Amino acid sequence: MLAPSERLPAPTLRDVLGDEGFRVFFPLGALYAAIWPLQWVLVFGFDLPLARTTPPGLWHAHEMIFGAFGAALIGFITTAVPEWTDTPRLQGRRLFALAGLWGTGRLVGFLGADALGLLGAVADAAWLAALGGYVALVSWRKRTDRLLAFVFSISALLAAQLAVSYAFLTGNVALAQLLLHCAGFVFLGLLGLALSRITVPVTNLVLDPSEETSPFRPHPGRRHLASGLVAVAVAGELAGLSEAVRGFLMIAAGAAFMDRIGEAFIGREALRAEILVLAGSSGFAGAGLLLVGAARLGAPFGEVPGQHMALMGGLGIGVLAVFSIAGLLHTGQKLVFPRGAKLAFVCAIAAVLLRALPDLGLMPQPPGPPYAAVSLLWAAAFLSWLWSYWPLLRDPATLEAESC
């Protein structure tokens, strides 16, 4: 575990959380990602006490996408965009306002409170609109088009959230399920965008810690290929194309993510955990999309294991990678994962495999209550990261550290 500095007086919790986006939203995202599945599986037995019209399984998907991964998105955008554009970062009240909106949605979704669905829908739409508006405003003021892909993706998430909320409020289960799948795939597109921005500086830092050279130069055609093909696949879903066509579109998007693994072939440094997790995120996302496509083309298994491989594996490991890398570089640390982060990735990978492989017929279901081991390993992953990084995030010496 990273040892906190003892040379400076401890800041207040408000000082820590209000300093930069990742300090408040990464811990929130980690806590929610750990606790929600535990209470759904082990406490309520795949039910939710306040759910009346919306199936609990749909609340589960909604809360993982817009809850846990949503917090990670807010933290990533509010931390990375100021760094990319050399603009002042959001601090204090603005961050707390975003946290309040996000938290309001979680108060509704944690127990599946259908009666308060409209309140949760408004809150989630508000933080997505504010986040997209922030990125668009920075893009306009800096006269840059480098952020437009993020503006488009966040806008697509906002549209998906509004449509999902409408389906929840009207009791249209089939529409809600389709739109939640699309929202998850949009998030995969955002993952592709994030990986394209993160992989290059991280790889160069691993190859040359002195930062005097930039030996890694990725192929420019690979940069947005995965995100672009995911967008095409989502368009095919919404257009209602034939199952075979939609299957091939998923396979194409999955192949693009698998292609990103090639960026990890940098010699013996490829075995560094900081490189492996980025390649692993792309690998799980790609494998999951390939499995979804194969299921639609007649493979002897359903789409569920592929969806979990892509969203739980690709997104989950990608989120942990962002947490771990940004948590070090934005606090002025060397890019070397602590043991807690490495343990987090081991637990997350084990959880994903334990969730997907039995449905693929590649291993028996583990003993005990259904998915209990999966939820425990998943929670252990995010709590291990939080246990390892919280002393660093609240260390007063890191509040004035230079950005990465």
What is the per-residue pLDDT across 144-171, written as a single tens digit (0 to 9) for each?
999 999 999 999 999 999 999 999 999 9
User: Are the C-beta atoms of residues 160 and 179 closer than 8 Å to each other?
Assistant: yes
pLDDT, tens digit, for every residue of 54-83?
A: 999 999 999 999 999 999 999 999 999 999
pLDDT, tens digit, for every residue of 229-272?
A: 999 999 999 999 999 999 999 999 999 999 999 889 999 999 99
Residue type, 164: V
Task: Indicate if the pLDDT at residue 206 is higher than 80.
Answer: yes
Which domains does the chain possess? 13-397 (1.20.210.10)
CA distance linking residue 89 with residue 16, whole number of Å: 14
Residue type, 46: F
Task: Indicate if the pLDDT at residue 353 is higher than 60.
Answer: yes
CA distance linking residue 145 with residue 23, whole number of Å: 27
pLDDT at 17: 84
User: Are the C-beta atoms of residues 253 and 204 closer than 8 Å to each other?
Assistant: no
Arithmetic mean of pLDDT over the chain: 93
Task: Indicate if the pLDDT at residue 287 is higher than 80.
Answer: yes
The answer for residues whose C-beta is within 8 angstroms of residue 268's C-beta and 6 or more apart is: none
pLDDT, tens digit, for every residue of 96-144?
A: 999 999 999 999 999 999 999 999 999 999 999 999 999 999 999 999 9
Alpha helices in 222-338 (DSSP H): 225-239, 243-260, 273-296, 304-307, 316-329
The answer for residues whose C-beta is within 8 angstroms of residue 263's C-beta and 6 or more apart is: 199, 203, 216, 218, 222, 278, 279
pLDDT at 214: 84
Helices and strands per DSSP (H, E), number in the chain: 15, 0
User: What are the distances in angstroms from CA 165 to CA 62, 112, 118, 198?
Assistant: 10, 13, 8, 32
Q: What percent of the chain has pLDDT over 70?
A: 96
User: What are the distances in angstroms from CA 235 to CA 161, 185, 231, 312?
Assistant: 16, 11, 6, 22
pLDDT at 401: 57
Task: Indicate if the pLDDT at residue 224 is higher than 70.
Answer: yes
Q: State which H helix or E strand residue 384 sits in.
A: helix 372-393
> What is the pTM (predicted TM-score) of this model?
0.94
Task: Indicate if the pLDDT at residue 2 is higher than 70.
Answer: no
pLDDT at 10: 64
CA atoms within 13 A on the CB side of 385: 31
Of 34-48, 196-210, 214-228, 249-263, which gets the smallest average pLDDT? 214-228
